[in-house]
Structure 1
Amino acid sequence: MMTAFDLSGRTALVTGANTGLGQAIAVGLAEAGADIIAVGRSAPTETAEAVLALGRGFHALAADLSTTAPIGDVVAEAVAQAGAIDILINNAGIIRRADSLDFSEADWDAVIDTNLKSAFFLSQAVARTWVGGGRGGKIINICSMLSFQGGIRVPSYTASKSGLAGLTRLLACEWAAKGINVNGIAPGYFATNNTEALRADETRNRDILARIPAGRWGDPSDLKGAAVFLASDAASYVHGTILTVDGGWMAR
């Protein structure tokens, strides 16, 4: 049965793999046997070291996914490097915080463009290579608890992650029959750069921990198992699901 989780011989394109959740997911997939193509604005030095230490292939592509402009070149270079992309992890994302009464159009557009628009068009570009080649693949969108809840002071982030959850289900409906699995992971409260402000706020930190049944913030490594499962043959009949990895937050 364990061979169903084996990713040997497969290549995963992971966006935002230089730190945090994306880095942990990339390393987890490499631990399961996958080679990694990391896409991001900054050099994924630590991720490269971890993946190469596992004996897996690694290639970094510099691209700013705040616009769709680099997507064609990213996919073309990834295919040229690896021969084919087998797994796409849409993890790149940003967040802007302000009261909704004061939220700017610039912050709205920046978050929607990166978190939602680029994720869709990158999925489209990769899926076109699969359909054109008569093969399937796996897409995993990194959603959020705010795909289900409202949150506070993050209107564009909530909209983008709610939209990404909807796209996950829509693309699953359209592409499942083509052999393409589209699913999502919704992380809970994880200790990353994006949550540094929350963890530094004594009141918010206390309130958040009080609601998490597991009693702790998530560590990025907690996402590895979910990512490997959804990327593997073990999830071949899983389409359009969003797997929460949240220490029990959504069950509370």
Structure 2
Amino acid sequence: MPTPYFEVAHLTKHFSTDESTVAAIQDVSFSLQKGQFLSILGPSGCGKSTLFNLIAGLMQPDCGDIRLQGESMLLRPGLTGYMLQKDLLLPWRTIADNIILSKTLHGTRRQAALKSAVSDIAACGLRDLLNRRPDECSGGQRQRAALVRTLQTGKPLLLLDEPFGALDAITRLHLQALLTEVATKKRLTILFVTHDVDEALLLSDAILVMGTAPGRILRQYTLDAPRPRTMRVLSQPEFIRVKGETLTLLDKEVTADA
């Protein structure tokens, strides 16, 4: 088998208080190849955010390793682009200057940074919004800007933590289609956290289902249908089966914790 492009190996992280020690995640392992899109589903408290923070280098694991192209990421921070549910756009900067923030902070001149972002700006329908400030934009427009900003980091691995969770259903569908189109065209390698099973089925090459206490992988599914996909794929027998099994697993986890 080829060496995975990205790999998490036996990752464990504990948090301690004066009274006890809790395993946030326990012996988590998975891998993906370049250009793959992997979604992570799990109930609240299963360690999804902890896992992302470890991958991003915001904290260190108690044991295990995280590897990119065969080399440990633990001593090499700054290899991921990280997008959250909140857009976190800087309110005093225009949409254009928010989009190119990473590049200008690293010394790229403004005009050069904007030029390199032209295709992503066009793909995300932001050309007419570049001179607006975030408070002059809708929630969907702000998330599109946050997505382009994340793409413009140029990082080899993108972490998207429920980026569309706060949006209305129509806007969410539009941004899902936009993301999968851009990800497929650019062969982006993406880890995506969601609570929406249909969203995971639409976007992903693979799905991890996580359980709680401690956070661990219950099951992994591979989805062979080519991307991008439409809603019609959800009526295919294989997708119906995966959705049913996933919901059953998640329901058992929530019931066990009740």
Question: In which range does the TM-score fall when normalised by the shorter chain?
Answer: 0.3 to 0.5
| Bigger RCO (CA 8 Å, 6+ sep) | 2
Greater per-residue helix proportion: 1
Instruction: Give the TM-score taking structure 1 as reference length.
Output: 0.34
Higher strand share: 2
Structure possessing the higher radius of gyration over alpha carbons: 2
